Protein backbone atom coordinates (compact mmCIF):
# COMPACT_ATOMS: atom_id res chain seq x y z
CA UNK A 1 0.00 0.00 0.00
CA UNK A 2 1.00 3.65 -0.30
CA UNK A 3 2.03 5.54 2.82
CA UNK A 4 3.74 8.80 3.78
CA UNK A 5 6.83 7.63 5.66
CA UNK A 6 8.67 10.05 7.95
CA UNK A 7 12.40 9.45 7.48
CA UNK A 8 13.89 12.40 9.38
CA UNK A 9 13.62 16.14 9.95
CA UNK A 10 11.43 17.60 7.20
CA UNK A 11 11.81 14.36 5.26
CA UNK A 12 8.54 12.59 4.42
CA UNK A 13 8.49 10.23 1.46
CA UNK A 14 5.68 8.50 -0.38
CA UNK A 15 6.60 4.81 -0.22
CA UNK A 16 5.10 1.38 -0.71
CA UNK A 17 4.90 -0.56 2.55
CA UNK A 18 3.19 -3.77 3.61
CA UNK A 19 -0.44 -3.63 4.60
CA UNK A 20 -0.36 -4.15 8.39
CA UNK A 21 -1.49 -7.51 9.73
CA UNK A 22 -4.10 -7.53 12.49
CA UNK A 23 -4.67 -9.72 15.52
CA UNK A 24 -7.92 -11.48 16.50
CA UNK A 25 -9.15 -8.49 18.54
CA UNK A 26 -8.08 -5.81 16.08
CA UNK A 27 -9.48 -4.20 12.94
CA UNK A 28 -7.95 -3.06 9.67
CA UNK A 29 -9.30 0.33 8.65
CA UNK A 30 -9.31 1.57 5.05
CA UNK A 31 -8.65 5.27 5.46
CA UNK A 32 -11.08 7.65 3.80
CA UNK A 33 -10.12 10.97 5.42
CA UNK A 34 -7.32 11.98 7.77
CA UNK A 35 -6.84 15.56 8.93
CA UNK A 36 -3.38 17.11 9.20
CA UNK A 37 -2.77 18.28 12.76
CA UNK A 38 -0.28 20.89 13.92
CA UNK A 39 1.37 18.33 16.19
CA UNK A 40 2.14 16.16 13.16
CA UNK A 41 3.84 19.13 11.53
CA UNK A 42 5.88 19.93 14.65
CA UNK A 43 7.09 16.32 14.94
CA UNK A 44 8.17 16.34 11.30
CA UNK A 45 9.88 19.75 11.53
CA UNK A 46 11.71 19.19 14.82
CA UNK A 47 12.72 15.55 14.61
CA UNK A 48 11.31 14.97 18.07
CA UNK A 49 10.42 11.37 17.17
CA UNK A 50 12.61 8.60 15.81
CA UNK A 51 12.27 7.47 12.20
CA UNK A 52 10.75 5.73 10.35
CA UNK A 53 7.13 6.45 11.28
CA UNK A 54 3.79 7.03 9.60
CA UNK A 55 1.89 9.92 11.16
CA UNK A 56 -1.77 10.96 10.94
CA UNK A 57 -4.26 10.52 13.76
CA UNK A 58 -7.51 12.29 12.83
CA UNK A 59 -8.68 9.21 10.98
CA UNK A 60 -12.05 8.12 9.61
CA UNK A 61 -12.69 5.23 7.26
CA UNK A 62 -14.26 1.85 6.58
CA UNK A 63 -13.53 -1.45 8.33
CA UNK A 64 -11.77 -3.56 5.69
CA UNK A 65 -11.21 -6.54 7.96
CA UNK A 66 -12.23 -7.43 11.51
CA UNK A 67 -10.35 -9.90 13.68
CA UNK A 68 -11.98 -13.22 14.56
CA UNK A 69 -12.78 -12.11 18.12
CA UNK A 70 -14.10 -8.64 17.26
CA UNK A 71 -17.83 -8.44 18.03
CA UNK A 72 -18.40 -4.68 17.81
CA UNK A 73 -17.54 -4.15 14.14
CA UNK A 74 -17.57 -5.98 10.84
CA UNK A 75 -16.35 -5.32 7.31
CA UNK A 76 -18.04 -2.32 5.73
CA UNK A 77 -18.73 -0.43 8.98
CA UNK A 78 -17.89 3.26 8.88
CA UNK A 79 -15.83 4.33 11.91
CA UNK A 80 -13.62 7.07 13.27
CA UNK A 81 -10.83 6.12 15.67
CA UNK A 82 -8.97 7.75 18.52
CA UNK A 83 -5.28 6.87 18.67
CA UNK A 84 -4.97 7.23 22.46
CA UNK A 85 -7.14 5.62 25.16
CA UNK A 86 -6.11 5.61 28.88
CA UNK A 87 -5.96 2.56 31.14
CA UNK A 88 -8.57 3.94 33.52
CA UNK A 89 -7.00 2.80 36.80
CA UNK A 90 -3.50 4.32 37.21
CA UNK A 91 -2.70 7.34 39.41
CA UNK A 92 -3.20 9.82 36.56
CA UNK A 93 -6.46 8.25 35.42
CA UNK A 94 -7.78 8.36 38.97
CA UNK A 95 -7.04 12.08 38.93
CA UNK A 96 -8.60 12.58 35.46
CA UNK A 97 -5.21 13.59 34.01
CA UNK A 98 -5.51 11.05 31.22
CA UNK A 99 -2.89 12.50 28.86
CA UNK A 100 -0.20 11.59 31.45
CA UNK A 101 -1.28 7.93 31.68
CA UNK A 102 1.41 5.52 30.44
CA UNK A 103 -1.14 3.52 28.45
CA UNK A 104 -2.55 6.73 26.96
CA UNK A 105 0.93 7.67 25.77
CA UNK A 106 1.06 4.38 23.84
CA UNK A 107 -0.37 4.91 20.35
CA UNK A 108 -2.92 2.25 19.43
CA UNK A 109 -3.11 2.82 15.66
CA UNK A 110 -0.38 2.10 13.13
CA UNK A 111 0.24 1.70 9.42
CA UNK A 112 3.63 0.16 10.14
CA UNK A 113 6.87 0.91 12.00
CA UNK A 114 6.58 2.55 15.46
CA UNK A 115 2.85 3.18 16.11
CA UNK A 116 2.23 6.86 15.32
CA UNK A 117 -1.36 7.08 14.13
CA UNK A 118 -0.86 5.86 10.58
CA UNK A 119 -3.64 7.89 8.95
CA UNK A 120 -1.37 9.08 6.15
CA UNK A 121 -1.64 5.65 4.53
CA UNK A 122 -4.21 3.52 2.76
CA UNK A 123 -4.78 1.16 5.70
CA UNK A 124 -4.41 1.42 9.47
CA UNK A 125 -4.22 -1.34 12.05
CA UNK A 126 -6.37 -0.46 15.07
CA UNK A 127 -5.25 -2.29 18.21
CA UNK A 128 -7.49 -4.10 20.66
CA UNK A 129 -7.87 -1.48 23.40
CA UNK A 130 -8.72 1.14 20.80
CA UNK A 131 -11.25 -1.16 19.12
CA UNK A 132 -13.05 -1.72 22.43
CA UNK A 133 -13.01 1.88 23.69
CA UNK A 134 -11.80 4.28 21.01
CA UNK A 135 -13.51 3.28 17.76
CA UNK A 136 -16.76 5.16 17.11
CA UNK A 137 -19.36 4.15 14.55
CA UNK A 138 -20.24 6.94 12.10
CA UNK A 139 -24.04 7.33 11.78
CA UNK A 140 -25.83 7.58 8.47
CA UNK A 141 -25.92 11.14 7.18
CA UNK A 142 -22.52 12.00 8.70
CA UNK A 143 -19.63 12.29 6.26
CA UNK A 144 -16.13 10.98 6.83
CA UNK A 145 -14.91 14.57 6.70
CA UNK A 146 -17.25 15.64 9.51
CA UNK A 147 -16.37 12.56 11.57
CA UNK A 148 -12.61 13.13 11.20
CA UNK A 149 -12.95 16.17 13.48
CA UNK A 150 -13.94 14.03 16.48
CA UNK A 151 -10.51 13.93 18.13
CA UNK A 152 -9.70 17.65 17.68
CA UNK A 153 -13.17 18.60 18.94
CA UNK A 154 -12.60 16.48 22.04
CA UNK A 155 -9.30 18.27 22.72
CA UNK A 156 -11.05 21.63 22.36
CA UNK A 157 -13.86 20.58 24.69
CA UNK A 158 -11.27 19.57 27.26
CA UNK A 159 -9.60 22.98 27.06
CA UNK A 160 -12.91 24.81 27.45
CA UNK A 161 -13.84 22.67 30.46
CA UNK A 162 -10.50 23.45 32.09
CA UNK A 163 -11.18 27.18 31.73
CA UNK A 164 -14.36 26.82 33.84
CA UNK A 165 -16.14 29.60 31.97
CA UNK A 166 -19.07 31.39 33.57
CA UNK A 167 -21.98 32.73 31.48
CA UNK A 168 -21.39 36.35 30.53
CA UNK A 169 -17.62 36.25 30.85
CA UNK A 170 -15.57 37.86 28.10
CA UNK A 171 -13.17 35.50 26.33
CA UNK A 172 -10.50 36.60 23.85
CA UNK A 173 -9.39 33.87 21.42
CA UNK A 174 -6.04 34.60 19.77
CA UNK A 175 -5.93 32.78 16.44
CA UNK A 176 -8.77 31.85 14.10
CA UNK A 177 -7.46 28.79 12.37
CA UNK A 178 -9.67 25.69 12.51
CA UNK A 179 -8.84 24.97 16.17
CA UNK A 180 -9.27 28.61 17.18
CA UNK A 181 -12.69 28.69 15.55
CA UNK A 182 -13.78 25.46 17.24
CA UNK A 183 -12.58 26.78 20.61
CA UNK A 184 -14.43 30.06 19.98
CA UNK A 185 -17.69 28.30 19.10
CA UNK A 186 -17.44 26.09 22.19
CA UNK A 187 -16.69 29.10 24.43
CA UNK A 188 -19.70 30.92 22.99
CA UNK A 189 -21.77 27.78 23.50
CA UNK A 190 -20.73 27.87 27.19
CA UNK A 191 -22.29 31.33 27.49
CA UNK A 192 -19.19 33.48 27.09
CA UNK A 193 -19.01 36.71 25.10
CA UNK A 194 -16.30 35.82 22.58
CA UNK A 195 -13.85 38.24 20.99
CA UNK A 196 -11.75 36.76 18.20
CA UNK A 197 -8.40 37.96 16.87
CA UNK A 198 -6.26 37.02 13.88
CA UNK A 199 -3.75 38.66 11.57
CA UNK A 200 -5.69 37.61 8.48
CA UNK A 201 -9.01 39.14 7.49
CA UNK A 202 -9.83 36.02 5.47
CA UNK A 203 -9.83 33.89 8.63
CA UNK A 204 -11.96 36.38 10.50
CA UNK A 205 -14.44 36.28 7.63
CA UNK A 206 -14.63 32.49 7.93
CA UNK A 207 -15.07 32.66 11.71
CA UNK A 208 -17.91 35.16 11.29
CA UNK A 209 -19.74 32.55 9.23
CA UNK A 210 -19.83 30.49 12.44
CA UNK A 211 -21.50 33.32 14.37
CA UNK A 212 -18.31 34.89 15.74
CA UNK A 213 -19.01 38.52 14.93
CA UNK A 214 -16.84 40.38 17.46
CA UNK A 215 -13.50 40.28 15.65
CA UNK A 216 -10.19 42.13 15.91
CA UNK A 217 -7.90 42.30 12.89
CA UNK A 218 -4.52 42.07 14.62
CA UNK A 219 -2.72 43.40 11.55
CA UNK A 220 -4.51 46.72 12.03
CA UNK A 221 -5.39 46.90 15.72
CA UNK A 222 -3.69 45.89 18.95
CA UNK A 223 -5.79 43.05 20.39
CA UNK A 224 -4.78 43.97 23.96
CA UNK A 225 -5.89 47.58 23.59
CA UNK A 226 -9.08 46.60 21.77
CA UNK A 227 -9.95 44.08 24.48
CA UNK A 228 -9.33 46.66 27.20
CA UNK A 229 -11.72 49.04 25.41
CA UNK A 230 -14.45 46.40 25.46
CA UNK A 231 -14.03 45.51 29.15
CA UNK A 232 -13.94 48.87 30.96
CA UNK A 233 -10.13 48.69 30.86
CA UNK A 234 -10.04 45.48 32.94
CA UNK A 235 -9.07 42.94 30.30
CA UNK A 236 -10.78 39.71 29.30
CA UNK A 237 -11.91 37.26 31.95
CA UNK A 238 -10.14 34.54 29.98
CA UNK A 239 -7.81 34.39 26.99
CA UNK A 240 -7.30 31.32 24.80
CA UNK A 241 -4.02 31.12 22.90
CA UNK A 242 -4.83 28.97 19.86
CA UNK A 243 -1.62 29.81 17.98
CA UNK A 244 1.64 27.91 18.36
CA UNK A 245 3.65 31.11 18.80
CA UNK A 246 5.30 31.41 22.20
CA UNK A 247 5.80 35.12 21.64
CA UNK A 248 2.03 35.57 22.03
CA UNK A 249 2.00 34.21 25.59
CA UNK A 250 2.90 37.66 26.89
CA UNK A 251 0.18 39.18 24.69
CA UNK A 252 -2.34 36.79 26.22
CA UNK A 253 -1.15 37.65 29.74
CA UNK A 254 -1.45 41.38 28.97
CA UNK A 255 -4.96 40.97 27.59
CA UNK A 256 -6.41 39.11 30.57
CA UNK A 257 -7.68 40.93 33.65
CA UNK A 258 -6.13 40.56 37.12
CA UNK A 259 -7.47 37.30 38.51
CA UNK A 260 -8.27 36.02 35.01
CA UNK A 261 -7.19 32.84 33.24
CA UNK A 262 -5.03 32.15 30.19
CA UNK A 263 -5.36 28.82 28.38
CA UNK A 264 -2.29 27.65 26.46
CA UNK A 265 -3.58 25.29 23.80
CA UNK A 266 -0.90 25.14 21.10
CA UNK A 267 2.35 25.34 23.08
CA UNK A 268 3.48 21.73 22.64
CA UNK A 269 7.25 22.15 22.39
CA UNK A 270 9.38 22.25 25.53
CA UNK A 271 11.73 25.19 25.98
CA UNK A 272 12.20 28.43 27.88
CA UNK A 273 9.46 30.97 27.32
CA UNK A 274 9.81 34.33 29.04
CA UNK A 275 6.80 36.03 30.58
CA UNK A 276 6.30 38.33 33.54
CA UNK A 277 6.07 36.10 36.66
CA UNK A 278 4.62 38.99 38.69
CA UNK A 279 1.54 38.78 36.46
CA UNK A 280 0.93 35.36 38.03
CA UNK A 281 1.94 36.25 41.59
CA UNK A 282 0.91 39.89 42.10
CA UNK A 283 -1.88 40.16 39.49
CA UNK A 284 -3.11 36.64 40.32
CA UNK A 285 -3.44 35.66 36.69
CA UNK A 286 -3.65 31.91 36.14
CA UNK A 287 -1.90 29.99 33.35
CA UNK A 288 -3.77 26.82 32.38
CA UNK A 289 -2.52 24.08 30.11
CA UNK A 290 -4.60 21.58 28.16
CA UNK A 291 -3.20 18.80 26.01
CA UNK A 292 -4.87 16.05 23.99
CA UNK A 293 -8.30 14.52 24.55
CA UNK A 294 -10.31 13.30 27.53
CA UNK A 295 -12.17 9.99 27.67
CA UNK A 296 -14.68 11.64 30.02
CA UNK A 297 -15.76 13.94 27.18
CA UNK A 298 -16.07 11.24 24.51
CA UNK A 299 -19.89 11.14 24.53
CA UNK A 300 -20.20 14.92 24.49
CA UNK A 301 -17.74 15.18 21.60
CA UNK A 302 -19.57 12.45 19.65
CA UNK A 303 -22.88 14.24 20.16
CA UNK A 304 -21.39 17.54 19.02
CA UNK A 305 -19.74 16.16 15.89
CA UNK A 306 -22.21 13.48 14.81
CA UNK A 307 -25.15 15.72 15.70
CA UNK A 308 -23.89 18.41 13.32
CA UNK A 309 -23.90 20.99 16.12
CA UNK A 310 -21.18 22.66 14.07
CA UNK A 311 -20.65 22.35 10.31
CA UNK A 312 -17.05 21.24 10.73
CA UNK A 313 -16.66 20.24 7.08
CA UNK A 314 -16.81 23.94 6.22
CA UNK A 315 -13.45 24.38 7.98
CA UNK A 316 -11.75 22.26 5.29
CA UNK A 317 -10.01 24.43 2.72
CA UNK A 318 -7.85 21.85 0.92
CA UNK A 319 -8.23 18.15 0.09
CA UNK A 320 -5.33 16.06 -1.23
CA UNK A 321 -5.12 12.48 -2.48
CA UNK A 322 -2.52 10.29 -0.81
CA UNK A 323 -0.12 10.49 -3.74
CA UNK A 324 0.14 14.24 -3.06
CA UNK A 325 0.55 13.92 0.71
CA UNK A 326 4.03 15.52 0.72
CA UNK A 327 2.55 18.55 -1.01
CA UNK A 328 -0.30 18.56 1.50
CA UNK A 329 2.10 18.54 4.46
CA UNK A 330 4.18 21.31 2.94
CA UNK A 331 1.05 23.37 2.31
CA UNK A 332 -0.07 22.86 5.91
CA UNK A 333 3.38 23.80 7.24
CA UNK A 334 3.37 27.04 5.23
CA UNK A 335 -0.27 28.17 5.39
CA UNK A 336 -1.64 31.04 3.37
CA UNK A 337 -4.24 33.49 4.76
CA UNK A 338 -7.06 31.37 3.31
CA UNK A 339 -5.61 28.04 4.49
CA UNK A 340 -7.77 26.30 7.05
CA UNK A 341 -8.06 22.55 7.66
CA UNK A 342 -6.17 20.33 5.22
CA UNK A 343 -7.15 16.68 4.85
CA UNK A 344 -5.60 13.71 3.10
CA UNK A 345 -8.04 11.32 1.42
CA UNK A 346 -6.36 8.05 0.38
CA UNK A 347 -9.53 6.42 -0.93
CA UNK A 348 -10.75 9.33 -2.98
CA UNK A 349 -9.79 11.41 -5.97
CA UNK A 350 -8.77 14.24 -3.65
CA UNK A 351 -8.29 17.69 -5.01
CA UNK A 352 -6.52 20.80 -3.79
Task: Output the pLDDT for position 168.
Answer: 97
Residues 325, 281 within the same domain: no
In a domain, 53, yes or no: yes
Task: Output the pLDDT for position 271.
Answer: 78
Task: Output the pLDDT for position 58.
Answer: 98
Residue 250 has pLDDT above 80, yes or no: yes
pLDDT band at 350 (very low <50, low <70, confident <90, very high): very low
pLDDT band at 200 (very low <50, low <70, confident <90, very high): very high
pLDDT digits (tens, 9 = 90+) for 148-184: 999 999 999 999 999 999 999 999 999 999 999 999 9
Residues 173, 205 within the same domain: yes
> Going by C-beta distance under 8 Å and a sequence separation of 6 or more, which residues neighbour residue 285?
253, 256, 257, 258, 259, 260, 261, 262, 279
> Going by C-beta distance under 8 Å and a sequence separation of 6 or more, which residues neighbour residue 298?
82, 136, 154
Residue 286 has pLDDT above 90, yes or no: yes
Residues 125, 218 within the same domain: no
Task: Output the pLDDT for position 351.
Answer: 41
Residues 179, 118 within the same domain: no
Question: In CATH, what number is assigned to the domain containing residue 52?
Answer: 3.90.180.10
Residues 28, 122 within the same domain: yes
Residue 7 has pLDDT above 60, yes or no: yes
pLDDT digits (tens, 9 = 90+) for 67-119: 999 999 999 999 999 999 999 999 999 999 999 999 999 999 999 999 999 99
pLDDT digits (tens, 9 = 90+) for 287-296: 999 999 999 9
In a domain, 299, yes or no: no
Neighbouring-strand partners of residue 27:
66, 126
Q: What is the mean pLDDT of residues 23-39?
A: 97
User: What percent of the chain has a predicted confidence (pLDDT) above 70?
Assistant: 99
Averaged pLDDT score across all residues of the chain: 95
pLDDT digits (tens, 9 = 90+) for 299-311: 999 999 999 999 9
In a domain, 23, yes or no: yes
Question: In CATH, what number is assigned to the domain containing residue 274?
Answer: 3.40.50.720
Contact 45, 66 (CB under 8 A): no
**Euclidean distance between CA atoms 309 and 171, whole angstroms:** 21
pLDDT band at 352 (very low <50, low <70, confident <90, very high): very low
Is the model's pTM score more than 0.85? yes
177: containing domain: 162-289
Task: Output the pLDDT for position 244.
Answer: 87
> Going by C-beta distance under 8 Å and a sequence separation of 6 or more, which residues neighbour residue 81?
29, 59, 60, 109, 124, 126, 130, 134, 135, 136
Q: What is the mean pLDDT of residues 111-139?
A: 97
Residues 195, 312 within the same domain: no
- Spatial strand order of the sheet with 215-217 comes to 215-217, 193-198, 170-174, 236-241, 256-264, 286-289
Residue 132 has pLDDT above 60, yes or no: yes
**Euclidean distance between CA atoms 281 and 89, whole angstroms:** 35
Residues 124, 198 within the same domain: no
In a domain, 147, yes or no: no
The domain tally of the chain equals: 2
Task: Output the pLDDT for position 247.
Answer: 87
Cβ burial of 121 (10 Å; 0-12, 13-18, 19+) is: buried
Amino acid sequence: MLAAVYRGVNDVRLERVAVPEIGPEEILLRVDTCGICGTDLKKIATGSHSAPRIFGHETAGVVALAGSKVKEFSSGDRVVVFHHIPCGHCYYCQHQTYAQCATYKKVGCTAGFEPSGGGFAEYVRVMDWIVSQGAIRIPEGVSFEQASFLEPVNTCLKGIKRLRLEPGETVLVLGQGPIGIILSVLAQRAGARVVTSDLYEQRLTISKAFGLENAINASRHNPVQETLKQTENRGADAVILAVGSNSLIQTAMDAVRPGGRVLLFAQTQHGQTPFDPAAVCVDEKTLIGSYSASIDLANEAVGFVMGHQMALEKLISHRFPLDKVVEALNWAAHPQPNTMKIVVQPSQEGQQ
